[in-house]
Structure 1
Amino acid sequence: MAGHSKFKNIMHRKGAQDARRARDFAKIIREITVAAKTGLPDPAFNPRLRAAVAAARAVNMPKDNVDRAIKKAAGSGEGDNFQEVRYEGYGTAGVAIIVEALTDNRNRTASDVRAAFNKYGGSLGEMNSVSFMFERLGVITYPESVAEYDAMFEAAIEAEAENVDLVDGYYEITCPMGNFFAVRDALESKFSDPESAKIEWRPSNTVTLTEDNAQTLLKLIDTLEDHDDVQNVFANFDLPDDVAERLSV
């Protein structure tokens, strides 16, 4: 289901995402900065910072960049002051969308997000207008090559994860948000660093897209993801494989 598995549903946009590596680096640096400022500057004692550092490693960010960001955030307190904000609304075909951002100017970010929704036939709603249709879950991914399914499943369940799915060559382990760091650390100790480890909004139900409305919706999501302040975008759409293939041509 789209909005459920990034590997399956947005794979056709991977090339465009790779081309935005510099912007992705900037987003991760911003998360590292906030994590280091809101907790201890040592990843060993700051689970959020440890997750941000892992995300940096996953995209091959140079260690010097990570170290500089932590050092700057842990310094005199000068520099960027980012706030965490969330926006909720509807896109084409009534698809529910949640946008997470880190911003130093809430008015600017809200205006830009609203403009993007309006441009592509959507509407920005109030806080909690769509989040009731989602569940907050910890999501940890490993390449299939790290272990046999039975070994991964046993380790995940022992760590009190809820489920293990094999999706496009990756194990996707899900767990309640409250267990996220414990599950991640247990799996990390057994299988080393995961490919990714995040807390995500997972939809309870999905909207199946056609080729026509999928194009408009994906343009909206691309526009939101391209914004410097936006960290994550989640949506409750289902993109059938045949539609994804036609759009990737």
Structure 2
Amino acid sequence: MDISKYIDMPLLYASEYGLKIIAALLIFIIGKIAVKKVTALSRTLMLKAKVDNTFVEFLESIIYFVLLIVVILASLNTLGINTTSFLAIFGAAGLAVGLALKDSLSNIGAAVLIIIFRPFKVGDTIEAAGVSGTVKDINLFSTIIEPVDKSIVVVPNSSLIKGNITNFSQRTQRRVEHVFGIGYDDDLQLAKETLMQIIQSDERVLTEPAPLVAVSELGESSVNFVFRAWVETADYWDVHFDMLEKVKLTFDEKGISIPFPQMDIHTNKIEGKQ
């Protein structure tokens, strides 16, 4: 019995496939390093070109995974594996995963729309999907919003796209608007002049567009004034709350009443009945 052939065959296979395995590993390791460098370079170039940071992160992820797949296929091809069949398998697997994760893919599609059309960006104050706050992060699946109470709300991107989005940061100016009511027995002209003086005395209120105080309604129990003042977006909430306080204190000083809902109950006493 010739034992030499059983010894030579493993050596033959080791010498033949060992080099291929080493070459495949080298291609994968060097390729992965190159992918990271190319991805980092592309990020740097996009940031220098002042591309939106959200869009940069999105493209960076796509570039990394596409190039990594190319490196993996090149490594497999070096081993002598037919990558065409793998592409077919990946395609079928991708279809199955896509059907299973259709909701997640809809979030990715929504993220692409947000990045392209930019209804809002990181740092904007928005109201959408029943949540109001500052946008802290936009990723492929969700948007992170921080309300005024400093909690964190994770909103799926598809939910944002489906409804209305109110962006409070797109404009440099915002309008503070209130409705104030006075009693029918109060001096209407005095109330109107008082409201305008309150607006004009606040340095944060802009002269253009011009502020407005006007009678908006003769209500059931009050004469209502519409009160409008334009301010810088950063001053909006401070002015909003300050105006409420100033109006109440000034009305009290000048004896102008602010009607509130009340109910009068009248009782009648009938003679001879207990």
Normalised by the length of structure 2, the TM-score is 0.21
Larger radius of gyration: 2
Which of 1 and 2 has higher RCO (CA within 8 Å, sep 6+)? 1
